[in-house]
Structures are given as C-alpha cells and as structure tokens.
Amino acid sequence: MCGICGVASLAGEAVDPTVVAAMSATLVHRGPDDDGLHVDGQVGLAARRLSIIDLEGGHQPIASEDGLVWVVQNGEIYNHEELRGELERRGHRFRTRCDTEVLAHLYEERGQRFVEDLRGMFAIALWDARRRRLVLARDRFGIKPLYYRLEGGKLSFASELKALLAQPGFSREIDLDALEAFLAFNSIPAPYTIFKEARKLPPGHLLVLEGGGARIERYARPQPVPASEVRREGIEELAEELRERLRDSVRAHLVSDVPVGVMLSGGVDSSTLAALAAQESGERVNTFSIGFEERSFDELELARIVARRYDTNHHELVLRPDAAELLPELAELFDEPFADSSALPTFLVSRLASEHVKVALSGEGGDELFGGYYTYVADLLAPRVGRVAAALRPLVELLPSSSAKVSFDYKAKRFARGAHLPPLERHHAWKEIFSPDARDELLGRSGRGRIDPLDIYRARYEETAGAEQLARLQDVDMGIYLVDDLLVKTDRASMANSLEARVPFMDTVVAELALALPTALKVRGFQKKRLLRKAVEPLVPREILEAKKQGFSIPAAAWLRGELLPFAREVLAPENVRAQGLFDPAAVTALIERHVSRREDLSRQIWGLISFALWHERHARAPGPVAA
C-alpha cells in the first residue's frame, strides 16, 4: 500500500523534481516506511510506501530489467505470484518478490492491456521511456483512488487531492457542478472533484499520455448479466459455490508479510470475513470493533459472539466520541467535502487496528452485490403499494421525528415521498440528501451548477438495459455510492492511520457470481441477502444472521439535538456561512431549527453542511462572486 504522485509535461519539457517531492511529502501518512522518486526528463514519479509484501525489496519506483519501464503503485495485486510464474517462463527475470515489479514485466508483454490480467486493488502510474508514454490505471471496482489535473501543458496525478494542491499555481476555484452533486449525495462522484482544475479517474479506466496528448479509455466494466442469463441453479448449490468463492477471495486477501486483522462490526459481511480469515489464517486473527454508549447504535455484543466462536484476538473500544473535536480532524484528512457520518467510527476503528496490524479486512461491497439495503426492499415493494403510500403521505408527514437509528418515521416519510416515482428516481429518493427545491433554497439560482446530479445515475443506469430491474439499481449503487462514498471513506480513514484496508467482497471471483444472481436470491419480501445468508450459515452465528441490519453509523440525529448542537450552531452561524459566499444563511439556520423542533430528521443535511464548512475553512480559498 502506498501513496503515489507524479508530473508529466505534454510538450516534453523537463519536470522539476522539487515539485514532485513536495507533492510526495503530503502523502507520507499513506506510506511512512519508505519513499522514492524517479525523474526522466519530461516525467517524474514518486511513491510513499507502507511495506506489506517483500518488506526489504519493494522500494518504489521500480523498473524493468532494462530500466525502460518504471512503475509506482498504490494497492495490492493478489495474483502476482501466478503472474510472476508465467512471466518467468517467458524469460523475464525478477530482482524482488514485490507485486509492483510484476507490473513492469507484464506491461512489456501485454502493453496497455496488462491491467486486464490483474486481480486486486490498485492505482498505477507506469512510464514507458522507449515510447515516451505515461499510463495511469485504476482498478475495475474503484477501490483505490486516483486524481489528476491537466493544466498549463502538464498532467499531474496523485492518490489524494492534497498532493495536487501542493503544486504552484493550483486554482482552488470550486466546481459548482461538483457542489450540486455533493448536496444531493453527501459525496462527490467521479469524474468530478470539488475543484474545477482536478478530476478523478473513474474505476476501470486508463489515462494514457503520449504524442503530446492525453486520452481516457475504459478497460473493464463489471455489470449485471442480462436477465436471460441469470443463474438458475438451486439455492443450495449456489450457496456452496458462493461460500467457496468467498473463501478463495479471503485466502487471497490474507497474503501479506505482516499480520492481517479484520474490522468486525457485528454484521453479516464483516462476521463472514472474520470467520473465513480465522479458518484460512495460520495464526490467531486480530479483530477490531467500536461501540457507542447509545444502545441502539451498539453492535459490540454481536461482534463478541463472532470473536468468541473463532477465538480471535479481539480488541474493542466503547466510546462517546467528541464529535466537535473529531470533525475538524476528519475535514483535514478528506481533501474535498465528505459527509458520510460513518467516517467517524471508521476512522476510530482504523486507529484502533493500526496499533496492532498493518492490514485489515473490511466488508464494503457486500450490500451492493448481494442486496443488503432496505432501499432494495422498498424498490421491490413500491410498484405494488406506491399509490397507497402517496395517498397517505399527508398523514405520514405528521409523524414526529425520532433520534433512533433509521427510525420508523424516517423510513416512512422517505418511502411515501418516493414510492410513486419511476424506478431510478425513487431509488435516489430513498437516499437523497438535499432535493432540487432544497438546493435552490440553499444556493439560489445564481449559485446552482449546470448539471442535474441525477444524470450521473441515469448514465450508469442506461448501460445495463436488459438486466433485471433490481440488479440495475444495485449496479448504480456499486458504481457511484460504493465507489465515491464507502470506498473513499474506508481508504482515507485507514490510510490516515497508515493502515491498509482490503475489501474481499470487491473481488472478481466474488462479483462474477453476485452479478449473475436472480433477484429472488438477493431480496424477497423483507428478506435481504438471501443467498449470502444461506452461504454463510455454517460460518456465522445465528444471532447475527437473524439480526436487523444496523450499519456502521453514529447517533447523529440525537447528537445534533443535544451535545453537538452548540458546535453546529457555531460552525453554521450566519456570519460564517455568509463568508463562504455559497449558501443562503437563512436557509441553513432554518434547517437547524426544523431538526431541533423534531419536525423532521435533517441530521444528514446538517452534518453535510458542517462537513462542507470545516472543509472550506481548511482547503478552499474564499470565492469571489458566484457566476450564473
């Protein structure tokens, strides 16, 4: 695991190594064990290394035998030993056991198509000195981040935005389209970033710089199979196949020269990983859990059941964290506005894990692949009861707002507001943060972006025509919410603590089956993850299989009506909002008052505005007049 960065001149001008070194210095938390820099005229590559495989020999940048291909990588290639064997049989000679060296030799054999053979999570930069070609690549699931900037005749790239900000002349002008998307989603989807000058390379894509120009192309697109090609075997047969595919993935993700642990939330996904890791590891597995004093948000007892069953070396903390202290810290480590409140417990459990291991398995992706969200139940229920729900909406809106986790009133109001809409629109309505009308109130017409954020969903959705309806909606979540929210959260929270997080569900071996499942084996009635639960019955305690989904969340609604309210009022005070020059202070104050009065749970909206304000204070210049 590493942080990578670099600069390349489109015109062939020499790169200033001090600029690349300054960019690299911002990424030391991603790789405190080693650093390296290679400059070849018009290109400079740098890496910060967290040593996981081949602790002594894995220094980056790393080159081919003849020194004409140079590579830096952030991530892990789980089939590197298999690829190495094939390459050695073709005459390649290796100096290290590092997976990054495999990339240089594989490129020599396959050219730009080398990425198609990789099983793993990665962001790669490869310099082909013979062809004067720079290749950037991001893994097909978007597990590892890669940002880039094309400006002033130069291409620069990095694992985090903060490295791009270290360049002289970087403009911090806010992209209003990205801001619009942030208000809709609480995160910023690719290819946007909050800054106009920077973009994210989408998952499964290459960026190739050669001949004085740059092009972006897709090399992989995991997606659901056509409805006519879904798997039709019985549930018992498919459950056995899935169990073995999960075992194979966990076995691959345990490959390391340092100890590997498991982030154990007490849910089905992380409990499955802990069970398989305990069975496949030759050592006693470390597990890590965070609990909260608020009982409805605490899953520690479920995590303890798994830890006891598999005799893990279990570590846990019971917290009532000081959000007013931690939120500014989170704003510092996230380079753009990010308002998923589960970043707070993810950061804390990563910090706990980093005291004992360098690598930890995490359960991201299980819900999107196997149908784990209540929104999927709502998607299937809405066509049958949508009209009734719409008719009852005036009564539902009168329900008082609770501070409990995903309370009945919260779910009922969301369902009633969206059930009558077309499939994609209602799926978004279940999760939408600020509606278009609410964004109008916040931004005013002159402050709005040019895009409808839902167009990002529509573009993804259109690519899967012919697949089953639920599978298409899951694919939207997998390609946007998972990539630009959950995986961003896990990457930043873990890497801020110099911890490598691995996600075994996001593996081609597992996803290949998940993307071919019929709807009934994922969601039926109020049952979710039907096949996954069946597959892990022999592994996971019954109490966990039968428990309601909790999610790795915090009691934000209660905090924002209690001890965190003074902090929220301070951060979002009218004079502070006015100084940002983006939002209407009166609209922000009205949101807070509506939440405090319990007329509605607006904790996600308020949390988002707090996150934006703290980010803006640290990373953005004060904007001038907002363009129409």
Residues 200 and 104 in one domain: yes
- Is the domain of 139 the same as that of 191? yes
Q: What is the pLDDT of residue 399?
A: 59
**Does 114 lie in the same domain as 20?**
yes
Determine the Cα–Cα distance for residues 261 and 565; give it in Å rounded to an integer. Answer: 36
Q: Are residues 189 and 135 in the same domain?
A: yes
What domain range includes position 32?
2-218
The CATH number covering residue 165 comes to 3.60.20.10
Cα–Cα distance, 517 to 371 (Å, whole number): 10
pLDDT tens digit string along 78-93? 999 999 999 999 999 9
Q: What is the amino acid identity at position 573?
A: A
Tell me whether residue 335 is exposed, middle or buried, using C-beta atoms within 10 angstroms of its C-beta: 0 to 12, 13 to 18, 19 or more: buried
Q: Is 408 exposed, middle or buried (0-12, 13-18, 19+ CB in 10 A)?
A: exposed
Least Cα distance to 266 among 529, 550, 554 occurs for 550
| Residue that finishes a domain, picked among 218, 237, 253 | 218
Instruction: Please say which residue of 218, 247, 276 terminates a domain.
Output: 218
- The answer to the question of residue 328 being in a domain is yes
User: Which residue type sits at 210?
Assistant: E
Residue 250 in any domain: the answer is yes
Enumerate residues 6+ apart whose C-beta is below 8 A from 542: none
Token pair 């002594």: residue: 56
Same domain membership, residue 232 and residue 269 = yes
User: Do 210 and 231 belong together in one domain?
Assistant: no
pTM of the model: 0.93
Structural domains in the chain (count): 2
pLDDT at 398: 53
The two beta strands, 359-361 and 260-263, are parallel
pLDDT of residue 549: 65
585: cis peptide before it, omega within 30°? no
Do 189 and 264 lie in one domain? The reply is no
Separation between Cα atoms, residue 176 and residue 174, nearest integer Å = 6
Last residue of a domain, one of 546, 564, 585: 546
Residues 502, 366 share a domain: yes
pLDDT block averages, 10 residues each, the chain of length 628: 90 92 95 89 91 67 92 95 95 90 96 96 97 97 97 95 94 94 96 97 97 94 98 97 98 87 94 97 92 66 94 88 84 92 92 94 97 94 72 59 59 70 91 93 78 95 98 98 97 94 97 98 95 97 84 77 94 95 95 92 95 94 38
Q: Catalogue the active-site residues.
A: 2
Q: Which helix (H) or strand (E) holds 37?
A: strand 34-40
- 175 lies in the same domain as 232: no
The reply to whether 157 falls in a domain is yes
Residue tagged 């605490």 (tokens): 298
Q: Tell me the pLDDT tens digit for each residue of 563-589.
A: 899 999 999 999 999 999 999 999 999
Are 310 and 187 found together in one domain? no
CATH of residue 334: 3.40.50.620
